[in-house]
Amino acid sequence: MTLTLTMTDERRDFVAAIEDFCRREAGTREQWLKLTGGGTEPHNAELYGKMAELGWLGVAVPEQYGGAGQSMVDLLLFLETTAYWQVPIGGFATSAITAASYEKFGTEEQKRRVLGDFLHGKVLAVSMSEPGAGSDVAALACRAERRDGGWVINGQKTWCSNAHLAEHILLVARTSASGDRHDGLTMFSVPAGAGGLVVRGIETMGGREVNDLYFTDCYLPGDAVVGQAGQAWRQLMAGLNLERMILAGLMLGTARRVFDDTVAYVRERKQFGRPVGSFQALRHRLADHATELECTRLLVHDVARRIEAEPERMLPREASMAKLKATELAKALALDGMQMMGGYGYAVEYGMERLLRSTVVSTVYGGTSEIQRDIIGKSYGL
């Protein structure tokens, strides 16, 4: 399925350049296997570095810090296209989300250092979840205490995407237990290899993606605070539009790839003397998939344009709708694609099982589908 949305010539050229790069660098199964260490590493630093040299990571960074200007539409096009081609740059999404927090709330020195590293191909990560705090962020218990002019961190974090690759980790820790449950949370900038920090990988269906973080008397200087102490919850809320749209863009591109791969297979696969795609049962299912996919693309791109037009406006309902719809659709299409491909859909060689693995978790991370529905419902006063 090709891009049909109205775009400027400049944006068409941008997408065409990304597609050409992806086709050359990671367009075959053999290339992908080599880049991912046999499918176990979702991020390839060398390939990511090439994209950094081309300036494409700058779609998530303001011009004054060397980026391309933080266009939500351009960011979405980059995410959708690279996800379609399944390019192993898994560190980009967390880096873009993390960079936005530094850009909004960091000091000038933090911005220059961290955003500069991002533009040069370094990975960033954000650490919020804990064993007892996932969707309920206010239940965070990892503590930061003032000591010797700085802060000492103790506690455990979990499900931290790309912490094992990160140059900087944006940590959310509790600095006070008084007041509202959402008060007393603070963001800290933690450099890679900080003393007292141990990163341990969690093996998942998607390979090496997420980690447990253990802080034991990890000392951070006083200027490690990002934004205002005790205000992390409000700072996190300011970035929800971006996080949800990044995940929507990734799964939109993945859903497009699932659809195209399924159609290509059912056109070629023959049973009972004709292509299986010619049977009404499959043809009608794919017609429904195509319709749902086009509706989802219109929704996601429309929300991106609205955010770009009013970047300071919070759109919790619309961003949650985009994230919910794109992730649920991608998962549903991958499950159905595997069913329509039969045994070949289950075989590693054909790639559908990989697409299924990458979509299954999308309805969990970045706020579960249940949380998104709750946000949407509340926006109507329910």
Positions marked catalytic: 243
φ/ψ (deg, to 5) at 179: 80, -160
Q: Write the Ramachandran bin of 170: left for phi over 0, alpha for psi from -120 to 50, otherwise beta.
A: beta
Instruction: Please report, for residues 49, 77, 109, 372, 378, the alpha-carbon distance to residue 382 in angstroms, rounded to integers and kept in the order given.
Output: 47, 34, 44, 14, 5
CA distance 333 to 251: 11
CA distance 349 to 352: 9
CA distance 267 to 262: 9
Question: N- to C-terminal Cα distance for the chain?
Answer: 38
At 69 the three-state DSSP class reads coil
Q: Which residues pair with 152 in a beta bridge?
A: 145, 219
Cβ atoms of 186 and 175 within 8 Å: the answer is yes
Q: Where are the beta strands (DSSP E) in the chain?
A: 123-127, 143-147, 150-157, 166-174, 185-191, 197-204, 207-221, 225-226, 270-271, 274-275
Beta strands at 274-275 and 270-271: parallel, antiparallel or unpaired? antiparallel
Q: Which residues pair with 275 in a beta bridge?
A: 270
CA distance 46 to 57: 14
* Farthest CA pair distance, the chain: 79
The kind and range of the H/E element at 277 are none
Closest CA to 225 of 176, 177, 186: 186
Cβ atoms of 74 and 89 within 8 Å: the answer is no
